[in-house]
Structure 1
Amino acid sequence: MAHCSTVLSQIVRIFPRHEFQSLANKHHVGQKFRSFSRWTQFVAMLTAQLTGRSSLRDVVDNLSVQGSKLYHLGVKVFSRATLARCNESQPHTLYEELFQRLLARCQSMAPRNKSFKLDGKIYLLDASLLDLTLSLFPWAKYQKNKGAAKLHVGLDADGYLPAFVDLTEGKEHEINHARELELPKGSYVVFDRGYTDYTWYQELCEDGVFFVTRLKSNAIVTPGKKRRGRKSPGVIEDREIHLGKLPETFRLVTYRDEETGIIYQFVTNALEIPAQTVADLYKERWQIELFFKWIKQNLKVKSFLGTSMNAVKTQLWIALCAYLVLSFLKFQSKVGASLQRMLRILQLNLFEKRDLEELFKPSPRKNTIRNNQLALL
């Protein structure tokens, strides 16, 4: 049998050690570490994400029992207090930059979304609240007696990768984050009515970015002429409109969902694509809801191992790195398994010496019963 290092050791090789060390030197503050390192912090926190550890003590104990296997990971034994201090004081920007580098690698491998025949990229935009205790997280202001942080994500529809990510106070409005995004020209961005802002719509038009959203009930609409052409089933009306005092011509697509019978009104500046594609693009927005649901159920982004914003962001960026690791392995192995199933397999084999590429590929069953043994006579 060929020699294999542990599954965790093979996973961390996805992050080239020399690149990581250059980032660690770039984002280090304070005195030099004696025996601890940012690499040790990263391996510990990544392991915590992949195994669902619930506390710093749990993280330390989980790695301590694997002491004989830590050497090959480049990790030394450490204490809970040391890990806690590092999470609180060392800049989270290291892992933000590490995330961006791994994201670029994943995007180069991600399969193209074949549901749409569009030239530009498709981004699904949304935000989700992470409830926090205000007394422990005083920076996470949301309501008078309630704390929360808000996770803003722009999901790339190719591979469903989080291309744009930020964490803010819970009271930060989504549109403030949206205005700062640098969306590529010719791309499509899909969002809900919480992002309604006519000034931003105008900016998107000027930047050559197409958008699809739903029309608010109090929208100021000036109807224009109906658009010609055959309508797909479900499309009730397709007409040009003007919003408020904006000079741009927009498009209003009224659509009835065949399954629920609910009627939707979509607004877009994409005048050339079919009306059905407009409806399908907004339906695709459901994928970002599934993304938020998945990371909250499978990664540690609802409870945190530190109370400062830096500690929370450190944990968040490493959690998103864990999500990218799973996506990277899925794209690389080209298996049809879900990310959740892959995560469960990793949890059971993280410290086992097995080949990572073969871990998600079931071995063919061997029929060890001879034909003559099947005969009764």
Structure 2
Amino acid sequence: MVEEGISFVSKLKLDSRYKEIDSNSVEEGIQIGNIKIETDKIVLLGKPNTRKFLPQEFRLITTYNTKKEKYSYVLTNIFDLPAEEIIKIYKRRWDIEVFFRFLKQELNFKHLGSTSTNGIKVMMYSTLIVSMLIMIYKKLNNVGFKTAVRRIAFELNDLIMAMVVKQCGGDPALFFR
């Protein structure tokens, strides 16, 4: 991944082995939400099951979560952004993880109905459009997620029934008395 020029931001286990090469200065009191930046180092990571280190340099940012009272490491190969931006990127990454969990759990995007690239894209776009419509409905009507889904289902059902009644030559206004 690193050799291909792909940038990444990830967590690293606290017990991971590394060798510090250099350190970047960290401004005192920088905090993003409940995350405080403690250190910003340039490191070599230890190879698994050996005393050797990987040849690539990485950036290791130590953070402290003031709410959970826990330290954590954020590892990246992005050297040209401030530490605060790296932490914001990691937090956005986590938001994306939560969104995908939402898609899988709430919108049942667990099983792909197609194996072709185009079929998967159609399913993904459809699911994303539905999720955005639900979120917009939720916001406009000031209701919870499950209520929004239920109301949309009822309203779509009524709309479809009105279209069927009209197509059959009936008066939809009589149907919804």
| Alignment TM-score, normalising by the size of structure 1 | 0.32
Structure 2 unpaired stretches of 5+: 47-52, 161-177
Q: Is 1:336 aligned to residue 139 of structure 2? A: yes
C-alpha distance in 1, partners of 2:65/2:127? 33
Please report how far the alpha carbon of residue 250 of structure 1 lies from its aligned counterpart in structure 2 after TM superposition: 1.4
Contact 1:330–1:339 at 8 Å: present in 2 too?
no
* 1:235–1:274 CA distance, 2 compared to 1 (3 A): same
Please report how far the alpha carbon of residue 236 of structure 1 lies from its aligned counterpart in structure 2 after TM superposition: 1.2
2:56 aligns to what SS in structure 1?
coil
Q: Is 1:259 aligned to residue 67 of structure 2? A: yes
C-alpha RMSD of the superposition: 3.4
Contact 2:138–2:144 at 8 Å: present in 1 too?
no
| Number of the residue aligned with 2:19 | 222
Q: Is 1:213 aligned to residue 21 of structure 2? A: no
| Number of the residue aligned with 2:101 | 293
| Number of the residue aligned with 1:139 | none
- The count of aligned residue pairs is 141
Please report how far the alpha carbon of residue 241 of structure 1 lies from its aligned counterpart in structure 2 after TM superposition: 0.8
Question: For residues 166-187 of structure 1, what are the alpha-carbon distances to aligned partners after superposition, in whole Å with 9 as ceiling and x for unaligned?
Answer: xxxxxxxxxxxxxxxxxxxxxx
Please report how far the alpha carbon of residue 330 of structure 1 lies from its aligned counterpart in structure 2 after TM superposition: 6.6
Please report how far the alpha carbon of residue 227 of structure 1 lies from its aligned counterpart in structure 2 after TM superposition: 0.7
C-alpha distance in 2, partners of 1:262/1:225? 24
* 1:259–1:229 CA distance, 2 compared to 1 (3 A): closer
C-alpha distance in 2, partners of 1:346/1:295? 17
| Number of the residue aligned with 1:314 | 113
* 1:346–1:314 CA distance, 2 compared to 1 (3 A): same
C-alpha distance in 2, partners of 1:328/1:240? 40
| Number of the residue aligned with 1:111 | none
Question: For residues 124-173 of structure 1, what are the alpha-carbon distances to aligned partners after superposition, in whole Å with 9 as ceiling and x for unaligned?
Answer: xxxxxxxxxxxxxxxxxxxxxxxxxxxxxxxxxxxxxxxxxxxxxxxxxx
Higher RCO, 1 or 2 (CA under 8 Å, sep at least 6)?
A: 1
Q: Is 1:352 aligned to residue 154 of structure 2? A: no
Structure 1 unpaired stretches of 5+: 1-199, 303-311, 355-377
Q: Tell me which of 235, 238, 241 is aligned to 2:37.
A: 235
| Number of the residue aligned with 2:128 | 324
Q: Give the counterpart letter for 1:236 in structure 2.
A: E
Please report how far the alpha carbon of residue 328 of structure 1 lies from its aligned counterpart in structure 2 after TM superposition: 5.4
| Alignment TM-score, normalising by the size of structure 2 | 0.61
Please report how far the alpha carbon of residue 324 of structure 1 lies from its aligned counterpart in structure 2 after TM superposition: 1.9
C-alpha distance in 1, partners of 2:139/2:21? 47
Query: Following TM superposition, where does structure 1 have runs of at least 4 consecutive aligned residues deviating by more than 4 angstroms?
Result: 315-319
